């Protein structure tokens, strides 16, 4: 048994399935490059058959990434597998991840297939996938709630067909640690060819047990691949958190006895990038990447840490990338320095005009904020391109008046399909007045589900990053906007969410029917 734990990141696939977490093509490539810097072994870049857009994103990531294996999800049918295979063509190292549900509940109610039909389809899918690559992962969906006898039959057959990784999915987050670990151990012991595959865990966090279940699958079950996401992003309550599972295995190497190749100093940059792009803010008390994770508020703890940091610290903040923010650019930085920094951050703008526009926004920001950090640069380009930036609405200017005892008033100037609109309204606060002004013209009929403000860096000079989550006709989107003025950031976030609501949805959900 290998003593290395393979880290399979699915932020771009399962993470993107979180309502509102959809990312543009360029944002996905940027995240993939950060995942490569983090040295994840496998990047699940998406579900190529979901839409042409998803296909293109998987393809772009397959071509851009050199050090990690790039993977596409595919349902267990020829069309999905062929799309995955085509999208991955040209990758340095490619994997096809195919799956089909194996629990009685899913087979009967969702697939309306008999166990024999599922068995056959799983086998044929793996056989077909081998035309494209020898690196094939098979997942029994709802595996943790499947009958072990049936699973043994299916998994033995898919390994015989050439599946090299078996991923026991706890699709609905139902598992509990010991039982899940023993479930996997039992499968491995009973399946005669189980040693021909790497066993993997894929856990959802519905009961808050995703990390614990993954660790039990590793320790008790002998799994040597963990599927996880940055900031635990994922369907419903999310997936197993990459930062938590990796740091648990590293910090407790005495217990797990495993190595991971992750460059942990890249964890914080990855966390910030994913949260900035998706608008899913990290809670302050979140392990490893939350703002309080290494803050010692109580006097007793501070005293202990000052005397000997190991008294209350089991990890070093700097080891996971909590180094003091680095000032990277300023008011006097020129276009070339800016372009070079974009490149170093993995931000590839698709034309010189896009670089010029981003540079103009940078100059504008540098006039108002003396120190510019990497986070500011990411925020500067997020939401300004792709689906969001090319949408109908663009922010132009804002004036607002608020005084104690008076009802705030906002005047927002924005463009709609290139035509300037001026809208004014009052509200019970400056942000409310701003949204009312936009809505007085747009009349989107959308419901605001979430409004949150977060400081991108430290100090009151920081840009505020605002997330607005809108819902309309069952569709949920997140808009993100950043500016040193949080009312302006709110207007940008609201317009960005409206743009996303307008973009067409032609995407197939992998785990739908
Ligand atoms: O949760 C799940 O079952 C999945 C599979 C596609 C592996 O995401
Ligand atoms: Zn999942």
Note whether residue 287 is domain-resident: no
* pLDDT single digits (tens) 487-507: 999 999 999 999 989 877 767
**In sequence order, which residues have a C-beta less than 8 Å from that of residue 60 and are 6 or more positions away?**
25, 28, 29
Ligand with smallest separation from the Cα of 139: 1
HSE at residue 220, side-chain half, CA atoms within 13 A, is 17
Last residue within a domain, chosen from 331, 359, 384: 384
Last residue within a domain, chosen from 344, 360, 384: 384
Both tokens of 273, joined, read: 């990038």
Is pLDDT of 323 > 80?
A: no
If asked whether residues 329 and 315 sit together in one domain, one would say no
What does the pLDDT read at residue 325?
Answer: 54
Ligand with smallest separation from the Cα of 168: 1
Residue 313: domain span: 292-322
Is pLDDT of 85 > 90?
A: yes
Ligand with smallest separation from the Cα of 228: 2
**What spatial distance separates the first Cα and last Cα of the chain, rounded to whole Å?**
37
If asked whether residues 231 and 305 sit together in one domain, one would say no
| CA 128 to ligand 1 center in whole angstroms | 20
Q: How far apart are CA 480 and CA 495, in angstroms?
A: 9
If asked whether residues 119 and 214 sit together in one domain, one would say yes
What does the pLDDT read at residue 449?
Answer: 95
* pLDDT single digits (tens) 307-320: 777 888 899 999 99
Last residue within a domain, chosen from 337, 363, 384: 384
Strands 225-228 and 6-9: parallel
What does the pLDDT read at residue 303?
Answer: 74
Domain count, the chain: 4
* pLDDT single digits (tens) 169-193: 999 999 999 999 999 999 999 999 9
Mean pLDDT is lowest, of 35-44, 443-452, 471-480, for: 471-480
The model's pTM: 0.89
* pLDDT single digits (tens) 189-219: 999 999 999 999 999 999 999 999 999 999 9
If asked whether residues 146 and 79 sit together in one domain, one would say yes
If asked whether residues 210 and 338 sit together in one domain, one would say no
If asked whether residues 147 and 221 sit together in one domain, one would say yes
Q: How far apart are CA 140 and CA 122, in angstroms?
A: 9
Between 73 and 311, where is the model more confident? 73
pLDDT band at 513; cut points 50, 70, 90 = low
Both tokens of 439, joined, read: 């809505």
Both tokens of 65, joined, read: 């990434």
Environment class of 39 (CB within 10 Å of its CB; exposed 0-12, middle 13-18, buried 19+): middle
* pLDDT single digits (tens) 295-307: 766 667 767 777 7
Q: Which residues line ligand 1 (CB under 6 A)?
A: 14, 73, 99, 139, 141, 167, 169, 171, 202, 204, 510-511
Q: Which residue has the CA at smallest separation from atom 1 of ligand 1?
A: 171
Using DSSP, state whether 208 is helix, strand or coil: coil
If asked whether residues 273 and 409 sit together in one domain, one would say no
What does the pLDDT read at residue 388?
Answer: 42
If asked whether residues 27 and 101 sit together in one domain, one would say yes
Answer positive or negative: Cα dihedral of 440, 441, 443, 449.
Answer: negative
Kindly give the number of the ligand 1 atom that is closest to the alpha carbon of 10: 8
Sheet strand arrangement including 447-455: 447-455, 464-472, 475-483
C-alpha dist (Å) from residue 383 to 89, 157, 290, 378: 29, 46, 23, 10
């Amino acid at each position: 048994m290998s003593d290395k734990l393979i880290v399979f990141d699915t932020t771009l696939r399962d993470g993107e399935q979180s309502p509102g977490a959809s990312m543009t093509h360029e944002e996905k490539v940027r995240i993939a490059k950060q995942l490569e810097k983090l040295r994840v072994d496998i990047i699940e870049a998406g579900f190529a058959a979901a839409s042409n857009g998803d296909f293109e994103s998987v393809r772009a990531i397959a071509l851009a990434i050199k050090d990690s294996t790039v993977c596409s999800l595919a349902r267990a049918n020829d069309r999905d597998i062929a799309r995955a295979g085509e999208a991955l063509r040209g990758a340095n190292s490619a994997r096809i991840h195919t799956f089909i549900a194996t629990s009685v509940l899913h087979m009967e109610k969702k697939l309306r297939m008999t166990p024999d039909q599922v068995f056959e389809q799983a086998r044929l899918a793996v056989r077909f996938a081998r035309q494209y690559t020898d690196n094939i992962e098979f997942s029994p969906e709802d595996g943790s709630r499947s009958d072990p006898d049936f699973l043994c039959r299916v998994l033995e057959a898919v390994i015989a067909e050439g599946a090299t990784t078996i991923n026991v999915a706890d699709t609905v987050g139902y598992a509990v640690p010991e039982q899940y670990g023993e479930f996997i151990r039992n499968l491995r012991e009973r399946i005669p060819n189980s040693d021909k595959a790497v066993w993997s865990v894929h856990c959802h966090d519905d009961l808050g047990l995703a990390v614990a279940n993954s660790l039990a699958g590793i320790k008790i079950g002998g799994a040597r691949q963990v599927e996880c996401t940055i900031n635990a992003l994922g369907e419903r309550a999310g997936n197993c958190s990459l930062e938590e599972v990796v740091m648990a295995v590293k910090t407790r190497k005495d217990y797990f006895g495993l190595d991971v190749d992750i460059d942990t100093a890249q964890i914080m940059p990855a966390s910030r990038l994913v949260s900035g792009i998706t608008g899913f803010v990290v809670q302050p008390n979140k392990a490893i990447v939350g703002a309080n994770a290494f803050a010692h508020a109580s006097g007793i703890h501070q005293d202990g840490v000052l005397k000997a940091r190991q008294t209350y610290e089991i990890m070093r903040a700097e080891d996971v990338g909590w180094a003091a923010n680095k000032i990277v650019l300023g008011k006097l930085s020129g276009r070339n320095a800016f372009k070079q920094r974009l490149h170093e951050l993995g931000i590839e703008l698709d034309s010189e005009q896009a670089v010029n526009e981003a540079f103009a926004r940078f100059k504008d920001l540098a006039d108002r904020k003396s120190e510019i950090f990497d986070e500011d640069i990411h925020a500067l380009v997020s939401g300004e391109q792709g689906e969001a930036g090319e949408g109908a609405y663009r922010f132009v200017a804002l004036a607002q008046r608020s005084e104690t005892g008076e009802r705030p008033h906002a005047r927002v100037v924005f463009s709609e399909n290139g035509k300037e609109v001026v809208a004014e309204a009052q509200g019970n606060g400056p942000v409310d007045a701003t949204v009312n002004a936009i809505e007085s013209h747009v009349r989107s009929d959308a419901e605001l589900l979430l409004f949150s403000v977060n400081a991108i860096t430290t100090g009151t000079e920081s840009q505020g990053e605002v997330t607005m989550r809108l819902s309309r006709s069952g569709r949920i989107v997140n808009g993100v906007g950043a500016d040193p003025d949080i009312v302006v950031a709110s207007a940008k976030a609201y317009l960005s969410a409206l743009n996303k609501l307008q973009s067409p949805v032609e995407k197939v959900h992998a785990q739908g029917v």
